[in-house]
Every structure is written in C-alpha cells, then in structure tokens.
Amino acid sequence: MPQHRIENVSSGFWLFIESRGYRVLQYCVLAAGLVAMSAATVPDVRPELRAWLTVGLWCCLGFFTFELAVRVWTRSVSERGPRYLLAAAGAIDAMAVLPIPIALLVGVPAETAWLLASLWLLKLTTSVPGLALLGRVISLESRSLASVFAIFLIVLLLAAVALYVLERAAQPEQFGSLPLSLWWSVTTLTTTGYGDAVPESFLGRVIAGMVMICGLGVFGLLTGILATGFAAEHRRRDFIRTWDLVTRVPFFRDLYPAAIVELTRMLRRLDVAERTVVVRRGRPGDCMYFIASGEVEVKLEPRPVRLGPGSFFGEMALLERGPRTATVVTTAPTTLLILDVSDFHAFTALHPDLAQTVETEAKRRASDSKRKVSKEQ
Amino acid sequence: MPQHRIENVSSGFWLFIESRGYRVLQYCVLAAGLVAMSAATVPDVRPELRAWLTVGLWCCLGFFTFELAVRVWTRSVSERGPRYLLAAAGAIDAMAVLPIPIALLVGVPAETAWLLASLWLLKLTTSVPGLALLGRVISLESRSLASVFAIFLIVLLLAAVALYVLERAAQPEQFGSLPLSLWWSVTTLTTTGYGDAVPESFLGRVIAGMVMICGLGVFGLLTGILATGFAAEHRRRDFIRTWDLVTRVPFFRDLYPAAIVELTRMLRRLDVAERTVVVRRGRPGDCMYFIASGEVEVKLEPRPVRLGPGSFFGEMALLERGPRTATVVTTAPTTLLILDVSDFHAFTALHPDLAQTVETEAKRRASDSKRKVSKEQ
Amino acid sequence: MPQHRIENVSSGFWLFIESRGYRVLQYCVLAAGLVAMSAATVPDVRPELRAWLTVGLWCCLGFFTFELAVRVWTRSVSERGPRYLLAAAGAIDAMAVLPIPIALLVGVPAETAWLLASLWLLKLTTSVPGLALLGRVISLESRSLASVFAIFLIVLLLAAVALYVLERAAQPEQFGSLPLSLWWSVTTLTTTGYGDAVPESFLGRVIAGMVMICGLGVFGLLTGILATGFAAEHRRRDFIRTWDLVTRVPFFRDLYPAAIVELTRMLRRLDVAERTVVVRRGRPGDCMYFIASGEVEVKLEPRPVRLGPGSFFGEMALLERGPRTATVVTTAPTTLLILDVSDFHAFTALHPDLAQTVETEAKRRASDSKRKVSKEQ
Amino acid sequence: MPQHRIENVSSGFWLFIESRGYRVLQYCVLAAGLVAMSAATVPDVRPELRAWLTVGLWCCLGFFTFELAVRVWTRSVSERGPRYLLAAAGAIDAMAVLPIPIALLVGVPAETAWLLASLWLLKLTTSVPGLALLGRVISLESRSLASVFAIFLIVLLLAAVALYVLERAAQPEQFGSLPLSLWWSVTTLTTTGYGDAVPESFLGRVIAGMVMICGLGVFGLLTGILATGFAAEHRRRDFIRTWDLVTRVPFFRDLYPAAIVELTRMLRRLDVAERTVVVRRGRPGDCMYFIASGEVEVKLEPRPVRLGPGSFFGEMALLERGPRTATVVTTAPTTLLILDVSDFHAFTALHPDLAQTVETEAKRRASDSKRKVSKEQ
C-alpha cells in the first residue's frame, strides 16, 4: 500500500476517533462496562447472567484495546507515535487495557482481576476539560490549601488525644487506642458522623461539639479557597477562547485594541447544537448575539434569512427595547458570542462608533425586509 | 353572547388568575392538598378523618382543574390557546390535573394514585422567579459542573473498589458486592454518613478518611461554581429590571448614557408593600430613595406630603449627614430605587449636575415646608 | 428631688448601662444563668446543688429585671419612654423578665417555667451588630432564597414519595407513611444522615444517592446567595462608618470629593484596645496608619512621641520600603484607619499631592528627631 | 574559641536549621514521631515493637531538643537570645520539648506522658505561611463571625429546649436533661448527625428538620465570611510580595508608578523547582514570563540560551498568537512572574511603550537566532 494511502486511511480513523459521535459511543461503552463489572461482584447473580456479564466485559476491553491500537497507529503514521504512550493520555489508555490481561496471566482470580476495570473511568480525565484547570488551581493555591490542611491536622490530632484520654476507660471498643480515636475524630471533623463511636462523658461531648464547629470552619475555608481559585482560572481560560473568536468577527476589526479587550471581557461564549431555538419571537430581549462559527436562520416574513459567521442578530430588541421581532434557529452547530443589554449600553456609551454601525445595519435590514415584502406582493 | 363580551369576561378571569391574591390562594390550596396527601398515608388515621382527607384532596384537584380550564379558555380566546398546553407552564398545569383521574380509572389503588398529587408542587416552578435563572446558570456552567461530577465519579468508584477488596471478607453484609460498596461510598463522599456500613480494617478507615476529605473538596468546588454563576446571572437580570425603572424616572433623563449605565449599576431595587414604613424619623440615614412606581407619604409638619413616581426622598440625611428628618410611609405597593450614601458621593463627585439638582430640590422643599408652617400659623 | 437632679442620676445610670464594662457583666450573667438553667434539668443533681441553682436563677432574673427597670426609667425621663417597650429591644428585655413569673403564677411546674430563661439569649440580638445586617440581606435576597427553598421542597417531596412507594412494604417502621418518609428525606437532603431510616432496595438507594448530591447542590446555592449578600451589605455598612472617620482626619480635608470616596474604599478600620503594640520595630512594613480617635505612643529615641487623632504613622516603611523604624503602642482605646502598601502606591500615583504631604511630614519628623537627639547630647 | 569563630559556627548552624532540606527532615521526624505515638497506644502491640516505638519517640524528642538548643544558642550569639523563648515560635519549640520529661519526672504514667507529643504538631503553625493570615482574617471579620456565632447559639439553645420539652418523657435516655438535648442539638445543627439521639414525636421531627435547614444557613454564612476575608487578605499579601519582585526586574523600571501598580495587580507569582519544564514547544501559548530570580534555559536550535533575573520569555506566542516556539526549562530554583494574554493585551493597549520594547526584543532575538544558525553552518 503506498504511503499516501496509508496516511489517508490513518487520518480517516483519526477523524473518526476524535469525533463527537465516537465520544458518545465511548461513554456508553464505559458506562456499560462499569455496570457489568459492578453486577459481576454481586454474589447471588445467576450463572448464565454472570457468563453474559463476562462476555460484555471482554467486549468492552476489546473496544478499548482497539481504541488504543488506532491511537498508537495513527500517531505513529503522523510521526508522533513514540511520544503518545509516554504522554498522560496514552498512559491512561494503556492502563485501561493492559492490567487486566496481565493480572489474569499472573494468576489473580478473575473476579478480582476485573475490578481493575475501574481504571477505565480515568479516561474521563482526558475528555473532561475542567480537570486540567483544577490541577492549575491546586498548584496556584497550594499555600493556602496547605495551611488549611495544617489546621485540619492539628484539630484532628488534639481532639483525638483529648477523646482518647477522656473515653478510653469507658469505651475501650471505640476509643481504646489513638488510631481508633483518630477515626472518630476524622468522621466528626468532616461532619460525616457515622455514629459508630460517640463520646459519652460530659467533657468529651463539649470537645466533640467544638470539633464539629471547627469542621464547619475548616470546610468554609476550603470552599472559599477552591471556589475563588476555580472562578479566577475559569475566567482566564474563557478570556483566551473568547478572544480567539472575537478576532474572527470582521465587525470588531476596526475597534481599538483596548476596546477589543474590554469587549472580550463582556462577551460570553455559548455553544449551541443544530436546530435549536436561540431567540423566540415575542420574548423580552436582553442580549444580542454575534456568530463566531456556524449558521442561523432568522424566521422573517415572507422568507427566512440565513446568517453566517461574523454576522450579528438580536440587536433590534436592544435598540428599541421591545420584544424579539423574529425567531432565530440554528441550522448547524453554532458558537455564539452573547452581549448583554447592560454591557451593550455601557460599551456603546464609551464607543459610539459601534452603536452607529449596529444601528446602520439594523436600519438597512429593516428597509431590506420591507423591500422584499413589496417585491413578493 | 357577542364576541367582545366573551373577551371581556375572559380578560376578567385572566386578571383574577394572574393577581397576587389568587397566587396566595393557590399556595394555600397547594399546602393544604399536600398536607392532606401526607396525612392520608398514615396507617392509623381514623376512617372518618380519612374520608374528610379524601374530600379535601378532591376539592384541591377541582381547584386545579378549574385553574387549568380558565387558563386554556382565556388563552384560546386571545388566540394563544393551542400553544399553552405545549408550553412548560401548561404542561405542568395539565400534569397536576390529569394523572390522578387516569390512574384511578386504570385501576391503580386510591392510596397510590393520590401520591401523584406530589406533582402539584411542580406548580412552584412557574411562579418562583429564580428557577429559570438556575437553569441558565447550569447551562452556562455545564463544563465546570461536568468536571466536578467526573471527579466525584472517579473518587466514588475507586473508593468503592478499594473498600470492596478490603472489607468483603470481614463484612459481607455491608461490603459483599460492588453495589453495596458504592452505597457506602456515596453516603461517605457526600458526608451524609448513615453509619449502616462502616469500614473496620485499618487501611479501609484510612481510605474512608481520605474519601471524606475529598467530599469536602468536591463540595467546595460545587458550591463555588454554582454560587459564582448564580450571583452573576442574578446581577445581569437585576440590571435589566433596574434599567427599565431608571428610564421611567424623569429626574435621570438629562444624564449622559454612560452615567445612566453607571447609576443603574449602583441602584438597588426594593418592592415595598402598602402601609410600610420606609424611613423612620431619627434613624441614621445611609441611602436616598427614588420612586419608580407607587406612592409614599412623607409625615411632615404641619401636614403630610404625598410623592408619586419619579420623585425622590431621603436626600437631606445624605446632604447634611444627620438623622432622618421625617418618617416616610408607602400608601400603595411601591417600587423604590435605593442609592447608598457611598454610591451617592462617588456618583456626584463625577457628575456634579445631579448633586446640584438634588440640593436645589432639597432647598426648595425646606423653604416650602417653612412657608407652609408660617401659612398655618 | 428637683427635675435636673433626676435627669443627672438618670443619665448616669444610662451611661453605666450602655458602657462596655456593663456589657461584659451582662454576658457573664447571661452565661451563668443559662448554665444554671441547663444544670437544673439534670435528674441526678443533688438537692442542695439544685437549691443553689434556683437561687442563682432568681439572681439572674433580678439582674435582668433591674436592667429593664433602669432602661424604662431612663428612657421615660428623656421622654422616649412609651416607645421603648414597643421597640424590638424593649420587647426582648421584657420577654426576658416577665414570662417566668407569669408562668410560675399560672401554675406551670418550676422546672418547666425556668426553661423560659432560654429567652434571655435573645438579648444577644440587640448587642451583636451583624444581626440587623443579616435581616437586610435576607430581605434583599428573598427572591433567590425563595427559589432555592422551592427546589429544596420539590426534591424533598418527590424523594419522599419515591422512597415511600419503594420501601413501605419492606420497612413499615421507617417508611410506612409519607410523614415518616419525609423525615428520612429531610435528614438525607441536609446530609445530616442519622441512619435511623436507611433505604434497602436497590432503586431506593440509587434515589437516595441522587438526593444526597442534590443536597450538596442546594447547599451550594444557599451558601453562595447568603455569602454574596452578606459580603455586599457588610461592605456598604463599613463604607459609611469609615467615611465618618475619614471626615474627622484633617489631613484628608484638602482632597477632592472623588478622591475621598476612593480613599474611603481603600481604608480598613481597626479598633485597638489600650496598651496594644500596633507596629513592632524591625518587622516588615506593609501599611500605614491614620488615627481616627484615641492616642498612640511612638517609642522613639531619646524620648517617645505621642500622636493624637488626625495624625498618621508607619509611613517611613512605605516610602523607603524597609522594616519599621520604631515600635508604636496605643495609650488609649484607639480607632485606626489602615492604608495598605498596594493601595498607598495606587492612590499616590493618581494623587501626587498626598504623597508629597506624607513625604514632607516624614522629612520634618526625621529632622525633628535628629534635632532632639542633638539637643539631648 | 575566638568570638568570630563562634559566630561563624553559629551562623552555619543557623543556615542549616533554616534550610529547605532541614524542614523536610523536620516534617519526616514529626510524622514518624506522631505515628509512633499513635501506635504505642494500641493495646495489642507486641512488647518488642512497643520497646522500639519508645526508642523512636525518645529519638524524636532528642531531635527537637537539639533543634531548640541550636535555635536558643544561635539567637543568643546574634544577641537576640532572651527574646526567642518569649516569642511564639520559641514557646512552641519549648512546649514540644519540656512537657514530656516534666510529666515523666512528676510521675505521670509513660503512656499518658507521651500523648503530650501531640504538641509537636504545633510546630506546623510556625512553618505554614497561611496561619498568620488566618489570624488576621479572624480578627478583621470578628464582628461578622460573632453575629453568626450568636445565631448559632440562639438556634442551638431554643432547639434544645423545644426537644427537651417534647421528648423527655418518651426518651429519657436521650433527651432527659437539657445538656443531653444540647448534645443532640449540636450534632444536628452542624449536620453531623450521629444518630444516637433521634426525635420520635411528630413536632420534634418538624423542629429537627428546621434545625437542619438552619444548620445549612449558618454554615453558608460562616463559609462566605471566612472565604471572602481569606481571599482579600491573600490578595493583599501577594501584592506586597509581587511588588518586591517587580521592582527587581530592570525591564519595568521606566514605567510610571501608576502603571507599575496596575502591572503588579496583573502578575501572578510562581515558584518553580530546578529542572522543571515551564513552557513546552508546540503547546498553545497563553501567557509570558518574567524571571524575578533564578535561571532558565531556552532550548533553541542550534544551541540553548540561558536567561537570568530580569529577562522575559514566552512573548512570541503572545505577539504572533501561535504555539510555543521553544521549550524552556529551569536550571535553578526560579521565581517567575506570569502575565496572562488577556492582561498583556489590556496593559499594552494602555501602555504602548511596553509593547514596543517587548516587540523590539523579540525581533532582536529572532535575528540573533538566525545569525547564530548561519554562523554554525
């Protein structure tokens, strides 16, 4: 087979394996595999069903092996092969496939070996976008998190020692050693409260109450740090993506760089599927839309109008402060940039040029629409 | 009956069914119905009481049927009928009425059929304003929420597998299969901690402690994402409403558009019921009020003054930094726009015109008030 | 007794009852009273101790009666009497005193009557400043809170109905009626998890897991709304207080109003007790201080310098970016305004006048200090 | 030994004891000591192992005694001795060493005396940076925290009294006195929910449900206050540190003070270990880096280039909006200042000088790199 044909086949496989449809299939296989693995551990499953579950598990394993093989092959054709298995995504794909056969060969009982199928879930880490973000948040906020963790440890240990001293005589089963007391301490400080170990002395209960309140405090700090960090990182990442889209809209090209930055901060990105109603006629209008990619259809009388990337719609409702004058439906997967009414007025107050362009375009459309109607008649 | 009379009757019903009084009645019927439904499930209720409860439930069902009929009829008169039952609100109204008779006809036992009355509670979703908001937050933050959910699933499954391996021999009742172990895992990761399944091995407890701490972390992320998103959406929505009100106040008409935007961001909206004291004489003054709609009475000596939409009050306390000089009471349901002292000074520092207008009006009022006093004497 | 003497005695009592020392005493009596009330309910308390506890409780009641009497009397002398008992604070003071004797007279057993002493704790609501704030937050955010509460109710009821249907046959004790099932639902949705009612069917446990996750979500929304609202209100209130203090510092009088607003936003207020070290020599300097009220002593060589309201200190560390050159101790209860280094540089970059004034004063002090040293020698 | 030699030895010890390596060692000894202490409390430990654990504990104690001795000695040589033991860090070091021998001498049983080793964990408070921060947050937010605590106490007591009245007859073991009822109240209000005391009456359960919901609310307020305060303090502290670093970068010296403040707010600090990949070739570029201290190696063809403090890299990806053109690795522990693409564009829009300098340098580097390549050939 000549080289270029191999490359064509390879890139075909590549496109297939990176498509949205394949991802949905992968999620289904993953869910089915994990359900089968869980069901296989139930003791009173009938033998026939158990056999079918094993078949299903082997099929899932085959699917992931095929996926790994395609990925390794397509990468090696495009000369990025050797690096793939060393990268995080490759390692996770390999960890999904290899451990189970190895465990079976080594002689681990089948029912224990199949528990390694839980590693399949790690595949989520490569497809869920927010996880890399979370890693960055944790590395940036590591100092604050370390100090909260230190407080957690100090309260944990001091409470455990106090309860060990107070309760060891009365409840040797629950508080008879420091590790047992630490177990009580961690269930209480996280406000989990199993209730398997409960202090009975008066002082022990007073300390337990204080530990619970400390738990609320530690929790509050942790929540605050993670939430603040996550929000900030998310904002940063969104800015970069929106910036990329803004530069593709010809409409914004004549703006000063400072105005573009300001506008990028105001716009929100929205990914819309095919055949979705974006704007419904008669509803109050609180934002206008710019099309970054994709296409929409404006349901105008007498015939609908199609708008492509770089166009905008929904501006009439903002200019005249009335309800939406037409329904707008996407005809392809579309990425929209949303400008809220508050930001629209704030922005056009400072940059009257944009307001003028929008108004000119709106007038042109209105007259255009009238002309079309008269032509039809 | 002539067409216009039908329309009059229809719009009368419409006004009644959309009034605030009707909503209170609806809530009462809803609460009574749900209490009756709950009470009817208690085994040791006396037969007479049970009969009365059933009567009450039929009355509630009748009420909601009447409501549905009026809504369908008034909508069909105003030519929006066929769409109503297809819209979300119509579907919910229909779901409140139809399932119970259908279930009874099909032969479901009465006590089970009446449990469908719990669908009545879905009516809250059409009258509580924040729920649509929540839907938008979840759609905008879906990426972040998906990644938190992925972390949740990974921790959940890995913890369940680990505990299944460690505890299945010792506690087959609690950890004898992976589904049982997952049940323990979810109660622990959400820090619910029923205590029906508790690890006993040392390693199992160490892992359980780590799962609890992960639970706090997952919780913190979820809280942060939902809270940030909710706050942002709320702010956007409030801006649009306040903007509408600001444009109705003649006082603000001469301001530049940029200043109006700025002011809209500063103002807070407050809906006040009839006969409520807004400002009490002698209290420290920390804000001034603009009336967007409704009417207030300023309890001045010798006789009170009434102020309507577009007026303002409470400015004296800001200009002279003293306590309130008069009590102000609403005489009708009133929507006020509140401007805090901090924002007042920040705004008038940049826009001295507004400060001057407010001061001129304040002086006019002061002299007016003196003149009136001297006239009276 | 002549009128003016009564007024003098009355205002003396008034000053005493509003002093900080009295408040500490009040807190002690409150704590002692509540501890005595709790201890008196323990069944196996010895009769002698129980008698002493009753004596203690009567003393506390006497104390609060005395407080109420003084408040009513001093208010009536200063002509604000009749309103006092109708105001919230007066009603709470009356509720602390009257119910117990009334209950005893009516014939309620003593041990139950004394439980009304728990109303004494309501006195905290008049002395803790943040509670009025919380009321305002809840009234402003009532829409969002109502929608979260609606979600809470819907999840609560639907989960209870589902579990009632699934578990009523297997566990009639725990899920035998809808109220019982609602009890399980509320303990699970708030992630309290007593463990007295636990679903056993597979589907019941799946639903329970979803309820717990909803619980986390509801909690996250509630946290976010309350926290955002509380922070905003707190900021507003602090602005007004700081503004009052800023206008008392002569140093800031020559600034433009816009600059004063900006500065007020930057300054943080700090109340310091007597004889507290504010700045320690040799420590890194990250802020400067303005004295709003009170007095401090700068431990300079050869003799310390005292600074009163309107003065500032700590500026040298900011101008020269070195460690603190002298220790500063308060000599009276002092209110300081703190300006952080970041805000100092941001502000002086925009308002070079202030920087110049600070530098001139700093130089004058440095030369002053040298002159004094040379004089001493 | 002459004075200067003592000082040399002392400062050598000082450098050793403050080094990063020593801190890691200290953490290891701390962890080992606490594990040994916990293990020694387990009743069924074999006598030989128990003996070894005791030896280990004595070794840890010896290590901390040595540390204390070195610190006291090095401080006394540098004339800061007497203050050390009175300072917080010295007191904690002394508390780690002295109580155990004193307890053993006084006659406390060995197993109880060694529990005092839990005080070793307090050493974390001197090395974890966030704890001082937390102290400041709590002091600044003390008013809000006090009001939340007051709400907590009021709900706690009223719920306990209500449940005591309702349940004391039915469940004297769980609700037979107010302290018992308070124990239930605190476990419920913190949503810990042990399940050892559960109300059984209908009204009791309704109140319990309300207490749980109040628990969520109190928790939300606490979280919000702590998180807001912590975030603000963290931001302040980071500003000061970043400011210090910015002033060391010669590149920024020509900027106006206002621009430096603005830039300081935009930059994030990142501490990177030796031999870490900062930028990987081919990855999308979303920020540029300034070196505050340390050194990096840019893997350019034909030979790598080293950049020291004051240099910057990663600017090409921002100017040309493409992927990274070279991998950058640290060659020493390095502190970097990160400028995000969003902030870069926002800043250069307002300060075109900086953009020009960056572009000139980028061009110089590009031509430099070409020249080198041609020289090599």
Q: What is the pLDDT along chain B (377 residues), one digit of tens a residue?
A: 566 777 778 778 877 877 778 888 999 999 999 999 999 998 888 889 999 999 999 999 999 999 888 888 887 776 554 566 667 778 888 888 999 999 999 988 888 899 999 999 988 887 776 666 677 777 777 777 888 888 899 999 999 999 999 999 999 999 999 999 999 999 999 988 888 899 999 999 999 999 998 998 888 888 777 777 766 666 666 666 676 677 667 667 666 656 676 777 778 777 777 777 888 887 777 788 888 888 899 888 778 888 888 788 887 777 776 778 888 888 888 888 888 777 777 777 667 777 777 778 777 777 776 666 565 55
User: How many CB atoms are closer than 10 A to CB B372?
Assistant: 15
Q: What residues of D are in contact with residue A84 (Cβ under 8 Å)?
A: none
* CA–centroid distance for B82 within its chain: 29
Q: Round to whole Å and give the CA distance between C38 and D185.
A: 13
Q: What residues of A are in contact with residue D234 (Cβ under 8 Å)?
A: 144
Q: Round to whole Å and give the CA distance between B183 and C209.
A: 8
**Residue B289 — φ and ψ, nearest 5°?**
-125, 140
Instruction: Tell me, yes or no, if A82 comes closer than 8 A to chain C by beta carbon.
Output: no
Instruction: Tell me, yes or no, if A87 comes closer than 8 A to chain B by beta carbon.
Output: no
Who's near B97: CB < 8 A, 6+ residues apart? B61, B64, B65, B68
Q: What residues of B are in contact with residue C136 (Cβ under 8 Å)?
A: none
Q: What residues of A are in contact with residue B204 (Cβ under 8 Å)?
A: none
Question: Is residue B239 a contact partner of residue B265, using CB atoms and an 8 Å limit?
Answer: yes
- How far apart are the CA of A293 and the nearest CA of chain D, in angstroms? 19
Say yes or no for a CB contact (<8 Å) between A144 and D234: yes
Residue type, A373: V
Q: Give the nearest partner residue to C220 out of B183, B193, B223, using CB atoms.
A: B223
Question: Is residue C357 a contact partner of residue C315, using CB atoms and an 8 Å limit?
Answer: no
Who's near D375: CB < 8 A, 6+ residues apart? none
What's the pLDDT score for residue B81? Answer: 45
Q: Give the nearest partner residue to D230 out of A182, A208, A225, using CB atoms.
A: A225
Across A212-222, average pLDDT: 86
- How far apart are the CA of D190 and the nearest CA of chain B, in angstroms? 12
Torsion angle in degrees (nearest 10) through CA of C272, C274, C275, C280: 20
Across D29-58, average pLDDT: 91
Who's near A1: CB < 8 A, 6+ residues apart? none
> Bigger pLDDT: B336 or D226?
B336
pLDDT confidence tier of residue A83, bands split at 50, 70 and 90 = low
- How far apart are the CA of D131 and the nearest CA of chain A, in angstroms? 6
**Residue B283 — φ and ψ, nearest 5°?**
-70, 150
Q: Round to whole Å and give the CA distance between B372 and C285.
A: 60
Q: What residues of C are in contact with residue A223 (Cβ under 8 Å)?
A: 223
Residue type, C116: L
The β-bridge partners of B336 are B270, B291
Say yes or no for a CB contact (<8 Å) between C177 and B41: yes
Query: Residue C116 gets which letter from DSSP?
Result: G
ipTM: 0.75
pLDDT confidence tier of residue A258, bands split at 50, 70 and 90 = low
Query: Residue B325 gets which letter from DSSP?
Result: S
Instruction: Tell me, yes or no, if D191 comes closer than 8 A to chain C by beta carbon.
Output: yes
Q: Can you say whether the dihedral through the CA atoms of D165, D170, D171, D172 is positive or negative? A: positive
Q: What is the secondary structure of A17-63 as a DSSP string?
A: HTSHHHHHHHHHHHHHHHHHHHHHT-TT--HHHHHHHHHHHHHHHHH
Element (H, E) at B57: helix B47-77
- How far apart are the CA of B264 and the nearest CA of chain C, in angstroms? 16
Say yes or no for a CB contact (<8 Å) between C191 and B195: no
What's the pLDDT score for residue C81? Answer: 44
What's the pLDDT score for residue B130? Answer: 63
In terms of Cα–Cα distance, which of B337, B212, B219 is closest to B278? B337
The β-bridge partners of B31 are none
* CA–centroid distance for D370 within its chain: 45
C-alpha to C-alpha distances, C285 to B313, C45, C344, C347, C354, nearest whole angstrom: 46, 57, 12, 17, 19
For chain A, positions 155-174, list CB contacts with chain D under 8 A. Answer: 157-158, 161, 164-165, 172
Give me the helix-helix angle, B130-140 and B142-167, nearest 10°: 80
In terms of Cα–Cα distance, which of C110, B282, D342, C217 is closest to A266? D342
What's the pLDDT score for residue C277? Answer: 80
Q: Round to whole Å and give the CA distance between D183 and A205.
A: 7
Torsion angle in degrees (nearest 10) through CA of B277, B283, B284, B288: 20
**Residue B195 — φ and ψ, nearest 5°?**
90, 10
Question: Is residue A245 a contact partner of residue A309, using CB atoms and an 8 Å limit?
Answer: no
For chain D, positions 338-357, list CB contacts with chain A under 8 A. Answer: 340-342, 345-346, 348-350
Q: Round to whole Å and give the CA distance between A298 and A280.
A: 10
Burial B119-153 (b: 16+ CB within 10 A, else e): bbbbbbbeebebbebbeebeebbebbbbbbbbbbe
Instruction: Tell me, yes or no, if B151 comes closer than 8 A to chain C by beta carbon.
Output: no
The β-bridge partners of B335 are B271, B293
What's the pLDDT score for residue A307? Answer: 87
Q: Secondary structure of C54-99 in the HEC alphabet?
A: HHHHHHHHHHHHHHHHHHHHHHHHCCCHHHHHHCHHHHHHHHHHCH
Across D156-171, average pLDDT: 93
pLDDT over 50 (residue A81): no
What's the pLDDT score for residue A187? Answer: 93
Token pair 């208690």 is found at B42
Mean pLDDT lowest among A128-132, A315-319, C203-207, D195-199: A128-132
Q: Which chains touch D (3 or more CB pairs under 8 A)?
A: A, B, C
Average pLDDT per consecutive 10 residues, chain C (377 residues; last block may be shorter): 73 79 90 92 89 93 91 72 66 89 91 90 79 73 82 92 93 91 93 90 93 87 75 66 70 66 75 79 79 86 82 78 82 84 73 75 74 58
In three-state secondary structure terms, C233 is helix
Burial class (CB in 10 A: 0-12, 13-18, 19+), A327: middle
Who's near D300: CB < 8 A, 6+ residues apart? D326, D369
Token pair 């709590």 is found at D138
Instruction: Tell me, yes or no, if C12 comes closer than 8 A to chain A by beta carbon.
Output: no
Who's near B24: CB < 8 A, 6+ residues apart? none
Say yes or no for a CB contact (<8 Å) between D154 and C124: yes
Within chain D, where are the H helices?
3-17, 20-40, 47-77, 81-84, 88-97, 99-106, 110-113, 124-127, 130-140, 142-167, 172-175, 178-189, 202-246, 257-266, 315-320, 341-350, 352-376
pLDDT confidence tier of residue D81, bands split at 50, 70 and 90 = very low
Q: Round to whole Å and give the CA distance between A35 and B203.
A: 26
Across D311-321, average pLDDT: 77
Q: Which domains does chain A have, with CATH numbers?
A: 3-127 (1.20.120.540), 140-234 (1.10.287.70), 250-376 (2.60.120.10)
Q: What residues of D are in contact with residue B191 (Cβ under 8 Å)?
A: 191
Q: How many residues are listed for chain D in this entry?
A: 377
Q: Round to whole Å and give the CA distance between A82 and A80.
A: 6
What's the pLDDT score for residue B65? Answer: 93
Q: Give the nearest partner residue to A227 out of B147, B192, B224, using CB atoms.
A: B224
**Residue B295 — φ and ψ, nearest 5°?**
-155, 145
C-alpha to C-alpha distances, A54 to A114, B271, C26, nearest whole angstrom: 9, 64, 73
In terms of Cα–Cα distance, which of C274, C259, C283, C358 is closest to C316? C358
Instruction: Tell me, yes or no, if D217 comes closer than 8 A to chain B by beta carbon.
Output: no
* CA–centroid distance for B334 within its chain: 19
Torsion angle in degrees (nearest 10) through CA of C361, C367, C372, C375: -150
What's the pLDDT score for residue D267? Answer: 80
pLDDT confidence tier of residue D64, bands split at 50, 70 and 90 = very high
